[in-house]
Structure 1
Amino acid sequence: MIEAVDLSKRYGAKTAVDGISFTVKPGRVTGFLGPNGAGKSTTMRMIVGLDNPSGGDVRVNGKHYAQHSAPLREVGALLDAKAVHTKRSAYNHLRAMAATHGIPNSRVREVIEMTGLGPVAKKRVGGFSLGMGQRLGIACALLGDPHTVILDEPVNGLDPEGVQWVRHLAKGLAAEGRTVFLSSHLMSEMALTADHLIVIGRGRIIADAPISEILDGHGQSRTRVRTDNPAELVRALAADGVTSQQLEPELLEITGADSRRIAEAALAGRILVYELTPLQASLEDAYMQLTTDEVEYHSHTLPQSPAGTGAEEGR
């Protein structure tokens, strides 16, 4: 279990984490989301003692990380997959870590096979691809068979098979009663993996709830509708917050009105409807609504140069 109480971190005049409190419980996958610069990585670093809090407290399995006599057996963390000796092989890197905790070589071989590193185990880490580096980082996190696993962007650089493997791994660890805390920018993958979400923005918690509650509370209802009179149905539903998109001649996707309201409007207007399919709100939509005012760095589309100007003039 991870317990944070009024946890803060300041770097000079900048407050990276601003008095947050949360609990990451065992037996479920807890996702950690937030825009760039929101304080996610700083929070994870404080959990494992790499940064000291400016205020508040955070404990893992009842103790500060530094108080655990064998931390690798309590907490396994992937925070920076590049934090390895590049001239060592993956096998020797893991063996060196294992030696600090009296972990047998049999466990080293076990995590190598578990993470798919077998074919490259004797190769130097400096030549690894991003995805293989991530697999090594996960192997390091699992080396001590820990009660708590913390993974920061674990699917970064992985192929589809690797992404699916991380999903099953996280769910499997949680099913064993372990605490699993992970961050990811892939909303579709987080929606498939996490049971609970903690969302942070500008250093403060803006949501802490089961993923189903976040989807229900912040995702707009969408419904796929087939009708022989789409234009008339759209007019019947014309109201604040109700929008529609025509996907095919007789197929609409309506946002902002649930199936019952659509059916009532169709009945009142004597409009034939022969399909009503509710669509689950996406985690991406819910996340964007939650963090719309919390994004520190905004992207803007550059205006296109008028015809005949721009790139050609610079040649």
Structure 2
Amino acid sequence: MIEAQALSKRYGAKAAVDAVSFTVQPGKVTGFLGPNGAGKSTTMRMIMGLDNPTSGHVTVNGRPYAQHRAPLREVGALLDAKAVHPKRSAYNHLRAMAATHGIPNGRVRDVIELTGLGPVARKRVGGFSLGMGQRLGIAAALLGDPHTVILDEPVNGLDPEGVQWVRHLAKGLAAEGRTVFLSSHLMSEMALTADHLIVIGRGRIIADAPIQSIIDGQGRARVRVRADRPHDLLGSLAGNGVTSQILEPELIEITGVEPRRIAEVALRERVLVYELTPLQVSLEDAYMELTQTEVEYQSHSLPSGNQGAAPVEGR
């Protein structure tokens, strides 16, 4: 279990993490989401004792990380897959870690096979692809057979088979009663993997709930409608946060109003509706709505005359 109480980290006048409190429970996969710069990495580093909180505290399995006598057996983490000596082989890297905790070489071989590193175990890490580096980082996180596992962007660089493997691994660890704390920017993968979500924005927790509750609570109703006079229908539905998009001359997508209300308005206005299809709200939809005011670094479209153009260096 991971427990944070009023956890804060300041860098000068900037609060990277601002008095956050949360609990990551065992027996489930807890996803950790937030825009770039929201405080995810800083929070994970404080959990692992790599950054000291400005105030507040965080414990793993009842103690601060640094107070565990054998921390690899309590918590395993993948925070930076590149933090490995490039001239060391994967096997020797893991064996050196194991030696610090009296972990037998048999366990090193086990995690190598588990993560699919067998064919490259004796090769230097400096020649690894991004995906193989991620697998090595996961192997290191699992080396001590820990009660708590923290994985920061574990599927980065993995092929589809690898992504699916990480998904099954996370679920399997949780099914064994372990605490699994997982961050990812892949909303589709998080929707398939996580049971619970903690969402952070500008250093503060903005959601902490089961994943389906966040989808149901944040995603607004979206309905696809085919009608003979869609503009008349839209005119009567306008206002109160209702938005629409014209997809084809007689096909529109309406957001923010329930299908029954659309049908009632169509009947009243004598608009012929020959398709009324509620659309499933995705985790991405809910997340974007939840964090729309919390994004610190926003992208913007290029001006219409410059779309597709790229700057040329040296001119």
Give TM-score, length-normalised by structure 2. 0.90
Q: Deviations over 1:172-213 (max 9, x none)?
A: 211111111111111222122211111112211111111222
Superposition deviation, residue 124 in structure 1: 0.6
Q: Which structure 2 residues correspond to residues 1-315 of structure 1 after superposition, within 5 A? A: 1-227=1-227, 230-248=230-248, 251-303=251-303
SS in 1 for 2:197: strand
Secondary structure in 1 matching 2:32:
strand
* Cα distance between partner residues in 2 of 1:301 and 1:238: 27
One-letter amino acid matched to 2:225: V
Q: Which moved more, 1:57-66 or 1:268-277?
A: 268-277
Shift of 1:29: 1.1
Residue type of the alignment partner of 2:53: P
> Measured at CA, do residues 249 and 107 of structure 1 come closer, stay the same or move farther in structure 2, by a change above 3 Å?
farther
Q: How far apart are the structure 1 equivalents of 2:25 and 2:63?
A: 15
Greater shift in the superposed pair: 45-54 or 237-246:
237-246
Letter in 2 for 1:255: T
By how many angstroms is 1:5 displaced?
0.5
Distance 2:5 2:277 in 1: 43
In the TM superposition, what is the alpha-carbon distance from 1:286 to its structure 2 partner? 2.1
Corresponding letter in the other structure for 2:255? T
d(CA) in 2 for partners of 1:185, 1:113:
27
> Which deviates more, 264-273 or 119-128?
264-273
Residue identity matched to 1:139: A
Out of 185-194 and 136-145, give the one that drifted further: 185-194
Tell me, which stretches of 5 or more residues in structure 1 are unaligned? Answer: none
Matched residue type, 1:284:
E
**Identical-pair percentage:** 81
Q: Deviations over 1:208-267 (max 9, x none)?
A: 111222212221111233445545544443444333334456543221112222232233
> Offset of 1:84 from its aligned partner?
0.6
1:275 CA displacement = 4.0
TM-fit CA distance, 1:61 = 0.5
| CA distance in 2 between partners of 1:237 and 1:13 (Å) | 46
Q: For residues 280 and 287 of structure 1, what CA distance do their matches in structure 2 show? A: 14
Secondary structure of 1:262's aligned partner? helix
Q: Secondary structure at the match of 1:36?
A: coil
